[in-house]
Structure 1
């Protein structure tokens, strides 16, 4: 994922310094040609219909944004702590820590460059979740 931003310093400060993502060496010439590659751990891509996005907005008590949006979701050890750590950098809290029906604690903040950042804390293992009703893969889900 590449986040293009007009305020590079603000974005680097938020993701590297506030959220603690380690920076790795990256190529960029001098001047305004800048890049920072940050290790975000293991990544997943979540594809969701507009209906599902609205469902998650409602569960997280987050504002609904009309039209397609991109949102980064970061797994953290403690959602409340992640929100507290991000607050001094000027991020607005869009949704406070909320326990979800899918056994995570989610919160959403406004990150730099217009991106929404969801922090989520897992409360059960993938194996536990997979055995519960309602959890399946798309190819096995009734339509």
Structure 2
């Protein structure tokens, strides 16, 4: 991170991913009820429906095509990811994967230990999304000491 970036106040307060869901009720049931995202706000009218679900801290992960292919190879063993994929950090990847499959997700790959020390599972889920649930196996402090972690300068 540059010195200039360190001194600026953040201008973005929230990252919101907006997804059109053909089967709105199934998507809400999956993300709110099965995954457990709390309902933060709801609005709509004249047949329009929307729900805003709280998903904790948001980050934007930008990857070049080679990195996306490498992640697919590690998590799934083959190229499957669309251009956009959603990832949620959870406390127990195995239990959440089982719960989401029971709620209608299709498991693409079971929980797998990655080179970046997390336990990742890949799923096809409602609203046409591909989802990774991941569990960090090491603390941020432990990961920071490993090769390949940190920021580019």
Q: Same fold (TM over 0.5)?
A: yes
Cα separation, 1, equivalents of 2:77 and 2:52: 29
Runs of 5+ in structure 2 lacking a partner? 1-16
Per the alignment, residue 3 of structure 1 pairs with 19
Per the alignment, residue 52 of structure 1 pairs with 67
Native 8 Å contact 2:118 2:135 kept in 1: yes
Please give the residue correspondences for 1:102-121 in structure 2 after superposition, counting only pairs within 5 Å. Answer: 102-121=116-135
Cα separation, 2, equivalents of 1:98 and 1:117: 14
Runs of 5+ in structure 1 lacking a partner? none
TM-score (norm 1): 0.90
Cα separation, 2, equivalents of 1:90 and 1:82: 12
Count the aligned residue pairs. Answer: 137
Task: Give the Å deviation of 1:63.
Answer: 4.0
Q: Aligned pair in 2 of structure 1 residues 12, 63: CA closer, same or farther (>3 Å)?
A: farther
Task: Output one character per residue of 1:55-98: Cα deviation in whole Å (capped at 9) or x when no partner.
Answer: 011111254137x5211100000000011101122211011100
TM-score (norm 2): 0.84
SS at match of 1:25: strand
